[in-house]
Amino acid sequence: MKPGALAYFRADSVPQAVDLLLEGGMDAKVLAGGQSLVPMLNLRMVAAERLVDISAVPTLKAWSADSKEVRIGACITHEQIQLGEIADPSNGLMQKVAAAIAYQAVRNRGTIGGSLALADPSADWVTTTAALGATIEWQGPDGPGSSPAEEFIVAAYTTQLGVSDLLTGIRIPRLDPDAKWGTYKICRKTGEFAHAMAMVIRAPKASRAFLGATDGAPIRLPHTEQVIGSLRGWQAAQAKVLTEAMDADLSATGRELTDVRIWQSRTCLLRSVQMSFGVEAIEPESI
Ligand SMILES: Cc1cc2nc3c(=O)[nH]c(=O)nc-3n(C[C@H](O)[C@H](O)[C@H](O)COP(=O)(O)OP(=O)(O)OC[C@H]3O[C@@H](n4cnc5c(N)ncnc54)[C@H](O)[C@@H]3O)c2cc1C
């Protein structure tokens, strides 16, 4: 199938893109890498009368770095991150995540901003930016806005962005050089969206742990983070304590995951913690 008739506009700057979006109102859509939007238009799952292509806006394709953080423009592609073309604030976590998104063809064009704006709960950047304590920035008719990544997504496919807002960039604080991370996702086959995902960062000052690919925003696990922070190495006996902490954190959120999803999330969490200690495999009986 092909999409309905559309007007195509190519923006040269962020203000021009916002004006074009405002003019088009509810019928205008941002086009970034097109890897999600174009199939959805073709399948008529999304309707639009106007596309505002932002892929040539120089500031959205730029990145900058200082001693505290790295700022990534919304149109930086998964491939650029995968290839290490952007300064890395994450001790290698972002490069690892980018390399496991979809297939090379999707990574060539798909952008970090498009992924966050779409807010598919299974998308890798949704959980990664939350785990890294990133800040999402946007520009709209009412001026600039920003939000911590873990609050940016309010529900599946729903963010804090208004109809004519443009996600402009992501600010990611530099991880402590001694911080270790681990991440694991369960997909039916390589290149598919995840069914479950976990991301763990063990930093000297505070650890962070999130579950992704849930029913909505990534789920932060505060009690599990305390347990992770107290670990000095990996021992199989810790699996029980960690899964109990994760289960307690899940019930405290009131979010309802299926039994299968809970089991998958436990596996992802344990493998992530193991990975952060440099242990590759987990014995199934200890999960
Ligand atoms: C076969 C396949 C497998 C995939 N597997 C994975 C996977 O394993 N993990 C994963 O994370 N992703 C996966 N994806 C999604 C992929 O990462 C997309 O590239 C990404 O979700 C969308 O990025 P895009 O730049 O292509 O955005 P587009 O498709 O251009 O846009 C997506 C949506 O976001 C809006 N939008 C885009 N940019 C902005 C912006 N700057 N401001 C406001 N709104 C904006 C658009 O209007 C549209 O609604 C997969 C996609 C495909 C086709």
User: Per-residue confidence of the chain (287 residues) as pLDDT tens digits?
Assistant: 788 899 999 999 999 999 999 999 999 999 999 999 999 999 999 989 999 999 999 999 999 999 999 999 999 999 999 999 999 999 999 999 999 999 999 999 999 999 999 999 999 999 999 999 999 999 999 999 999 999 999 999 999 999 999 999 999 999 999 999 999 999 988 788 899 999 999 999 899 999 999 999 999 999 999 999 999 999 888 999 999 999 999 999 999 899 999 999 999 999 999 999 998 765 444 44
User: Are 198 and 269 in contact, with CB atoms under 8 Å apart?
Assistant: yes
- Considering the segment(s) 58-173 as one domain, its CATH architecture is 2-Layer Sandwich (3.30)
d(CA 172, CA 240): 33
CATH 3.30.390.50 placement within the chain: 180-286
CA-wise closest residue to 73 among 20, 130, 19, 33: 33
How many A from CA of 262 to the centre of ligand 1?
26
Tokens at 3, concatenated: 């999409």
Question: Is there an atom of ligand 1 within 6 Å of 101 CB?
Answer: yes
CATH 3.30.465.10 placement within the chain: 58-173
pLDDT given for residue 188 in this prediction: 86
Task: Report whether CATH 3.30.43.10 matches the domain 7-53.
Answer: yes
Task: Report whether CATH 3.40.350.10 matches the domain 180-286.
Answer: no
Question: Is there an atom of ligand 1 within 6 Å of 40 CB?
Answer: no
Count of CA atoms in the C-beta half-sphere (13 A) of 27: 9
Residue nearest to atom 3 of ligand 1 (CA): 102
